[in-house]
Amino acid sequence: TSVTIHEVRENKTKQRQDGLQHLRKQLRWKESSEDQELRQSVCLDFVYDNVMFAVKKGFPWQAVTQVGRIAEELLTESKGVALSQVISLIQNKLSQCGPRLLPYHHQAFFEFLMDTYVRHYCLYQSVLCAERTVESTVTELVVYVPPCPEPLSKGTDSQVWEYQQRQATLKEAEGQRRADIQSLKDSVGQKRENRLEKLLKDLQIQYSHTLDREVIERIVQDVVRAQVDLVLESLLKEVAMTAEILELKLQQKTLARPVCRPPLNFSLPSANTPTASSAKVSTVHPPKDKKKK
């Protein structure tokens, strides 16, 4: 399908991408498969470049439309043709619009086709004639739809939520410190038992005979000193952890509470609704006693 003079004039004022889409509609080329779309895109670029070349060189408008038709026919009729025959085909096509072209325009169009189409003839033939192997990868994706949100009336204010999260963090830290204290006590008890067992084994090996009073006193002092050092070390660690627990409790107590906001379904009282300040209070006075005559 050839383009008209009016359509060529419209394309002259458009940008390249807009002009290509407009030319596609003029030629009535429909979108097709990926392979055909590539070939169609190459052909569309070739026809568009030839038409714009003729416009820039000042060809008569009637000749410009013939240039577009020649470019389209050249791509179709040169498929699988030898290069020598293509040059003859170009000369025959140009002779058809010879009367409408000046010799200068005729020579310029011929050189343009030689520099563009003939120079890259093998590439054009590869795109237009060779079958392409289309490789496509299909991957199945599982889409997890987010859960349906709860109504806003059941939601929690952002400040209240932040307050609750901070309180939960402090309580979790407090619980962790209490667990650390219990673990420390358990480990200290196990260490004391292990040291006593080791000491008894050493005594059985070193002192197989009867021990005198001085040796027993020295052994007892060493055992007591070791136990005291172990317990003292444990108490110092426990005191430090207890101080951390008290600090966490203090933070929980002093944490600023959020300002309570009215719920979403809260409605302000209307002007006609009586309030405590505007309600009329009627005072009932007791009857006065009549004087007795």
**For 55-73, what is the mean pLDDT?**
81
More confident residue, 282 or 238: 238
Q: Averaged over 97-119, what is the pLDDT?
A: 82
Looking at residue 75, its pLDDT comes to 82
281 in a structural domain: no
Say how many domains are in the chain: 2
Nearest to 50 by CA among 90, 131, 1, 109: 109
Shared domain check, 165 and 122:
no
43 and 117 in one domain? yes
pLDDT of residue 210 exceeding 50, the answer is: yes
Crossing angle for the helix pair 61-77 and 83-96, to the nearest 10 degrees: 150
Spatial distance between the Cα atoms of 126 and 130, rounded to a whole number of angstroms: 5
Does residue 284 have a pLDDT over 50? Answer: no
d(CA 50, CA 72): 10
Query: Looking at residue 290, what is its pLDDT?
Result: 46
* Confidence class for position 98, pLDDT limits 50, 70, 90: low
Looking at residues 81-109, what average pLDDT do you find?
81
Give percent of the chain with pLDDT exceeding 70.
70
- At 278, the pLDDT band (50, 70, 90 cuts) reads very low
Q: Is residue 170 very low, low, confident or very high in pLDDT (cuts 50, 70, 90)? A: very high
> For residue 28, what are the CA distances in angstroms to 22, 31, 44, 48?
10, 10, 11, 14
Higher pLDDT, 38 or 256: 256
124 and 170 fall within a common domain: no
Asked if residue 9 and residue 100 are part of one domain, the reply reads yes
Q: Which of 239, 254, 269 is the last residue of a domain?
A: 254
Q: What's the rounded mean pLDDT across residues 247-254?
A: 91
Instruction: Give 266's pLDDT tier (boundaries 50, 70, 90).
Output: very low
Q: Which domain holds residue 248?
A: 156-254
238: in domain: yes
More confident of the two residues 152 and 281: 152
- In which band, very low, low, confident or very high, does the pLDDT at 283 lie, cut at 50, 70 and 90? very low
161 and 241 belong to one structural domain: yes
Question: Which of 85, 24, 91, 78 lies closest to 51 in space, CA to CA?
Answer: 24
Look at residue 197 and tell me if it is in a domain.
Answer: yes
> What rounded mean pLDDT belongs to the chain?
75
Q: Which of 220, 236, 254 is the last residue of a domain?
A: 254
Q: Distance (Å, rounded) from C-alpha 194 to C-alpha 187?
A: 10
Q: Based on the domain organization, do 125 and 205 belong to the same domain?
A: no
**Looking at the domain assignment, is residue 272 inside a domain?**
no
Which 3-state string (H, E, C) describes the chain? CCCCHHHHHHHHCCCHHHHHHHHHHHHCCCCCCHHHHHHHHHHHHHHHHHHHHHHHCCCCHHHHHHHHHHHHHHHHHCCCCCHHHHHHHHHHHHHHCHHHCCHHHHHHHHHHHHHHHHCCHHHHHHHHHCCCCCCCCCCCCCCCCCCCCCCHHHCCCHHHHHHHHHHHHHHHHHHHHHHHHHHHHHHHHHHHHHHHHHHHHHHHHHCCCCCCHHHHHHHHHHHHHHHHHHHHHHHHHHHHHHHHHHHHHHHHHHCCCCCCCCCCCCCCCCCCCCCCCCCCCCCCCCCCCCCCC
- Let me know whether 178 and 231 are in one domain: yes
CA-nearest of 172, 197, 134 to 251 is 172
pLDDT of residue 281: 43
At 242, the pLDDT band (50, 70, 90 cuts) reads very high
**Smallest Cα–Cα separation from 181: which of 230, 240, 228?**
240
